[in-house]
């Protein structure tokens, strides 16, 4: 299946949650539509009852033959390098801006990191249904922000959509048909490159651990993007520290993929995909999880103590 990995960047209250909900509802293309969203929610409830689900801060939606992983980014400035680590898993970002408020200080931090990583944002001017919306002014402010942050020419030439996430539409024109989020799905697929990792599908498995969580049932969970190769649940892997020292070998007890709002155990994950792994005792953020034959760690930025999210 074709894959895209993106992050949605937004100031708090600019409508990220509402937009992701609308994307989930409209995804699976119009063929399967609602059924998929409902199934995702159902299985999530079921798993929650059994105590094994972790409400993902990331989601994935299907659009035709393409699966779009959407990873969440903290909206606030953090000092642990978490934003960089998360953005290094994706190949594109959607910058969501309230068309009445324009870009806010907290958006700037994450935007600056995205631009520095060479990502080319898609700009969505959201809530244009608000009576006080000023999409033209908001657009000028976004352009100025990018220019001030040193965006290159390609980044400054960003595609723009006008949207109302709450009404479930987005369009390249303000006076467009306002009937669906199709233009946003299509733009993500067209503008965001597929992960390069897909090309390295036959190599031995490697993954850079990006975030760490403590799940009450599964224990330590490390999320990251598979750099090369594939991983089957039950496989034995090892963890290498940033300097290439072996930390531990362990059996991968679960490979969890994002499906709708839930994380679901899968049998095998492939290069380019973003997954969470369970089974490790010591491995942590910035470690390389890899096939036992691999000797070299994936280069990772130095980190402050990782943020642990207890779910």
Query: How far is Cα of residue 159 from the mean position of the Cα atoms in its chain?
Result: 19
**Identity of the residue, 4 or 14, whose beta carbon is nearer to ligand GDP in the bound complex:** 14
CA distances from 16 to 19, 127, 250 (A): 5, 11, 37
Total residues in contact with ligand GDP, by rule CB under 6 A:
15
**Would you tell me how many other CB atoms lie within 10 Å of the CB of residue 14?**
28
How many helices (DSSP H) and strands (DSSP E) are in the chain? 8, 18
CB of 286 to ligand GDP, least distance (A): 28
14 binds ligand GDP (CB under 6 A): yes
Encode 215-246: b = buried (16+ Cβ within 10 Å), e = exposed: beebebbbbbbbbbbbbebebebbbbbbeeee
**Identity of the residue, 14 or 120, whose beta carbon is nearer to ligand GDP in the bound complex:** 14
Q: Which of 4, 16, 85, 220 binds ligand GDP (CB under 6 A)?
A: 16
Cα separation, 224 vs 160, whole angstroms: 29
**Identity of the residue, 11 or 67, whose beta carbon is nearer to ligand GDP in the bound complex:** 11
CB of 255 to ligand GDP, least distance (A): 28
178 binds ligand GDP (CB under 6 A): no
DSSP-assigned beta bridge partners for residue 70:
6, 59
129 carries a ligand binding annotation: yes
Cα separation, 127 vs 134, whole angstroms: 10
10 binds ligand GDP (CB under 6 A): yes
245 carries a ligand binding annotation: no
15 binds ligand GDP (CB under 6 A): yes
Cα separation, 23 vs 305, whole angstroms: 34
Stretch that binds ligand GDP, among 7-15, 76-84, 267-275, 278-286 (CB under 6 A): 7-15
13 binds ligand GDP (CB under 6 A): yes
Which segments are annotated as binding site for GTP? 13-18, 126-129
Write out the residues near ligand GDP by the rule CB under 6 A. Answer: 10, 12-18, 126-127, 129-130, 164-166
């Amino acid at each position: 299946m074709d894959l895209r990995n993106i992050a949605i960047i937004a100031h708090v209250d600019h409508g990220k949650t509402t937009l992701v909900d609308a994307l989930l509802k409209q995804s699976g293309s119009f063929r399967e539509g609602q059924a998929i969203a409902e199934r995702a929610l159902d299985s999530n409830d079921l798993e929650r009852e059994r105590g094994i689900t972790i409400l993902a801060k990331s989601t994935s939606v299907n659009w035709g033959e393409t699966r779009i992983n959407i990873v969440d980014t903290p909206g606030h400035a953090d000092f642990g390098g978490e934003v960089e680590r998360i953005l290094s898993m994706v190949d594109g970002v959607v910058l969501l801006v309230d068309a009445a408020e324009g870009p806010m200080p907290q958006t700037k931090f994450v935007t600056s990191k995205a631009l520095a990583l060479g990502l080319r944002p898609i700009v969505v001017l959201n809530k244009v249904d608000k009576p006080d919306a000023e999409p033209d002014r908001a657009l000028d402010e976004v352009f100025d922000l990018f220019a001030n942050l040193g965006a290159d020419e390609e980044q400054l030439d960003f595609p723009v959509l006008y949207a109302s996430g709450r009404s479930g539409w987005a369009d390249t024109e303000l006076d467009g048909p306002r009937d669906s989020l199709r233009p946003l799905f299509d733009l993500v697929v067209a503008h965001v490159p597929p992960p390069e990792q897909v090309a390295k599908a036959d190599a031995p498995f490697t993954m850079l651990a990006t975030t760490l969580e403590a799940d009450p049932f599964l224990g330590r969970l490390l999320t990251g993007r598979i750099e090369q190769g594939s991983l089957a649940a039950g496989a034995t892997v090892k963890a290498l520290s940033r300097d290439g020292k072996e930390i531990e070998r362990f059996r991968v007890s679960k490979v969890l993929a994002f499906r709708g709002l839930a994380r679901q155990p899968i049998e095998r994950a492939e290069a380019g995909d973003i997954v969470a792994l369970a089974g490790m005792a010591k491995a942590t953020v910035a470690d390389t999880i890899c096939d036992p034959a691999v000797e070299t760690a994936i280069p990772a930025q130095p980190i402050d103590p990782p943020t642990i999210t207890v779910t």
